[in-house]
Structure 1
Amino acid sequence: MTSDKRLTVPLFYNEFLLLLEDIALHPGFVMLCGDFNFHVDDAFNQNAVVFNDIISSASFSQLVAGPTHEAGHTLDLILTRALVNFVNEVKTSNPLPSDHAVVECWLNLSKPEQHKVKVKFRKFRDMDIDAFRYDIRSSTLCVTPSSDLNVLIDQYENVLADLMDVHAPETIPGVSPWYNNSLRKAKQDLRRWERLWNSSKLEVYRQIFRKQRILYKNMLEQAKKEYYRLSFEGCSARQLFQKVCRLSSPSSSKTLPSNEGMNRRQLAEHFSQFFSDKIDNIKCELDTIRDTSSFASAPVSSPKPATDVPPGEHHCMLQFDCVTVEAVKKLIIDSPSTSCELDPLPTWLVKKCVDELSPVIARIINLSLRNGHFPDSLEGANVNPLLKKTWTRS
């Protein structure tokens, strides 16, 4: 677009060439189609000649042969990579009352296979934090930490990863044991007829949907019966009793505290006292934070510049000061609870184990400062590009 907001043919050439160059860098099947409004069939049309040269320079080819407009020119085009031929039987027809013809073609492409994505997660809510902290204190990471920086980093990551697998192992969401491929196929058919009925509201689709729903319900019940029949076969009386008890009386977690020996009035007062104590604890924590903040914000007198340095001489910093465990602990607690998938532990869990991990992290920092070397294993990073707008609306 020019300064006076007019579209010009040279501007289209430049932008279209940039588009083809960007597409050429990506693998796969590419097809560009539409009304380009160039008479590519006319060898004496200057605009069409330039357009064909741009297509050839980007290793693309034009597949439509014959007129696509009532004036007898080829305006509607199909562009593909010259070396990848997956478009067959290109033809034109005029079934519509339009000045442009319909361009039809067959794509020699197979439907991609459906890939199942296995999702893994850790049950952090069921994790015993106290036991996890005890295992950290008893591990080689705290008992016999290495004096080599890279070895210590590997020790830190491996020990914590092993402890995570013990206390919060990765699990895959389970599927009901009676759910099989036949049920999956019947459910897919059920959803397909349901979508057809919702989109068309035809009575025939509603009847098919109802029949498929009854069929799926019966298949599901039959699969459950068969599964439990096979699981009960060969069981002893004790095993049979345990299975029946587990099915008829599922375990439920207690949501209320123990009220043994309390009447209703005492239980209500117990609840009231609990929340009162909770509010008092929050107030005390807020007062402590306010006192700490006021102390940290107090003005600090800046050191006076040294005046006893002889002219022509300069001070050199020969080494870094070692960080303290308390300084590392404060940095960990004050840091945001965001995590990266490269971290051996999520940040919120590191904060809960800060007393056990801060000496190790301080040791890693001090070894790095003392040796003047950044750990090799910490140089990796995950970069997630974000799509930003390349234009703004005026």
Structure 2
Amino acid sequence: MIISVLTILSFVGDLWVEAKERFKRRYLSERIDYLTNGSFGTKHTARKITKVRPIQANISDIKKLKSSSLAGLSCLTSPHDRCELLKGRFGTKPTARKLAKRHAVLPPFYSDHRIITCSINHAKPPPVKSVIRSRQFGKMKPEQFTELLQKRMSEFPLDCEDPNVLTDAYESLTKSVLDEVCPITTRERTMRHRLPWYNEDIHLARRIRRRLERKWRKSQSEEDNEEFVAQKYQVIKLITDSKIEYFSNKFAESNVKDMYATINGLLNKSQKILPVFDCPDQALANKFLSFFIEKVEKIRANVNVSPSSTDDSIANSDSIEPCNLDANINCCLNTFTPLSETDIEKIIKRFPSKTCNLDTLPTWLVKDNLPILLPILTKIVNSSLISGIFPNALKESIITPVIKKSNLDNNILKNYRPVANMKFMCKVIEKAASCQVVTHVDNYNLGEVNQSSYKRSHSTETALLKLYAAFEPKVSGDRERVLNNMSACISDINSWMVNNKLQLNQDKTEFFIIATNRALNKLPVIELSLGNHSIKPSANVKNLGVVFDGALNMSSHISNLCKTLNFHIRNLWRIRRFLSQDACHHAVRALVLSRIDYANSLMYGAREMDLKRLQRLQNKAARLIFACGRDRCSADLLNTLRWLPVKERINFKIMLHIYNCISGTAPAYLQDLVTFYNHPDSSRSSRRLRSSSDKTRLYTVRSSKRAGDCCFTVFGPSTGTSSLFMSEKRNLWLLLNVF
């Protein structure tokens, strides 16, 4: 019985093998017919490609071989005596060159297929060359330029009072002198990717490595192989050392902006993000120009409304109070005061040595010859301030489109913002005028108290510490009144902005509700109306780089901050081997610690689990600097770096704000939130307290709610009365310099 079953199974197996072979022969025959009658040249060419016996050739593979420009190709075919797949010419023209050469058939490996190798006869594309017009300042003699400029000073019309004539004469004079000393040269340069850390030692070592590699491939001896491997590791060591030296020096001399560019270069990230258009660069520039012009015209059309349409709404509004000024005080700035050469010199020296391509003289050359050019520059600035005319030659600038966020679509033009690079003299005149305006506003106390931008001792963090006005309905019937008040407030702001030629972006206007989770669940659907738009409450709102949630526990902000810190720490770990310890420390301070310290005073009262997340990231950054693992104690690393932990950094920032409030250097809106404790008359008291003699004791506001403890009025004075805050000013500044 068992023998009969085995015989039947063997017979069935033989039938299956025979059917499989018959199907295979039929399939290969159909493939040959397809190749023969296909679009690959004539029938004779196709038969020459698929000569003698059936092979597993695919028409797509042959098409890829025809259009391929690679240096080598491998394809599989069934075993046969002779294969002439790569010996034919593709196409029917006699001028068609042989694409494949030096082909060889390797012996079978794991299967019955053989590997055919060949080299594609395709020449290397020629290098791209470009024509460059520039001045070679490296070959210029500075003393020759100074001498010639001194001789040409008599050609400048110092008696003229027209700023346009003076500016044109200045640019013509400097351009003519520069053309004689350092003329514009046109040269053709081959565009090659030059690595800044590549030096002659690496180039020589690579030549030796290639020579040893050719020697080893020819001899196939162990001694030559050892020499080649040793030279290969020597080249790697030279490249690594050169990168470490170059990037360490660059990190030590760069600011935060340059550090971002350097790290992106190490991570092979593109710096410029532009739309993808099948058009020349000039056409793309014209597209951006047309878009920005239309955008400006649209904004002007929206804000060009008659003042009478908005004055009534503003006058009837109770939320906007007019500015009360004494009519007897002459606080009008009618004219600008002419500046002296010393004032202009101070303004110019404060500017960084950045140059616009439209400048006739680079900024560093202006500073080097400032004693000679100072009378001309002073004349141009004073004539523009006195006459109230801005020179037409300085109204030109180079506009660069910069994408707003990296995650936005780069093919949509509205996701770009225009960044203007102006001429150097334009910045000097602007700075000269702004200094007088700021001085006038400060002398007559005309500035807005709650304004934090462009003011000394003011920052975004001090603005965030300011108390926010909140609507808190006492009973359920007040909810409608609160919503109406908020809608009226937004409408008043919109009317004021339109009246002052500004535009409110309704698409980006949002609001959120501050309440507990229990109270939020009881609230109905709330919407605010802003013109034709309806605004729904948001769960999180981002203001000045800080994410606020409804519970005000800063959990959303800390989560967003942890994502950003993890991203930068992970990127720094990828390039850590190219950085020295000092360079890595500098990068961590700029990319990690600056984000931990920004607005960290708002994290007072945050959950302990959220603060621990930040602390783990700070420990991770410390291990990154020392390039060590988790076996090292984080407390020892922080002490070595002289870093305060996260919680102590928060307390230190709060004490610093309190110290500035008492010393009078903090903004006025923060000084109003901190008051000294009014001591009772100790002579009338039966007992004298030790705290009555403390002149620096602050009045602490008591709050019955946990959310109220996060207010600066509550946690500021309570934290500022610690022993660290009572230190002297000298010790405090020493502590600032250390941490």
Shorter-chain TM-score: which interval? 0.3 to 0.5
Normalised by the length of structure 1, the TM-score is 0.35
Higher relative contact order (CA 8 A, sep 6+): 1
Q: Which of 1 and 2 has greater Rg? A: 2
Normalised by the length of structure 2, the TM-score is 0.20
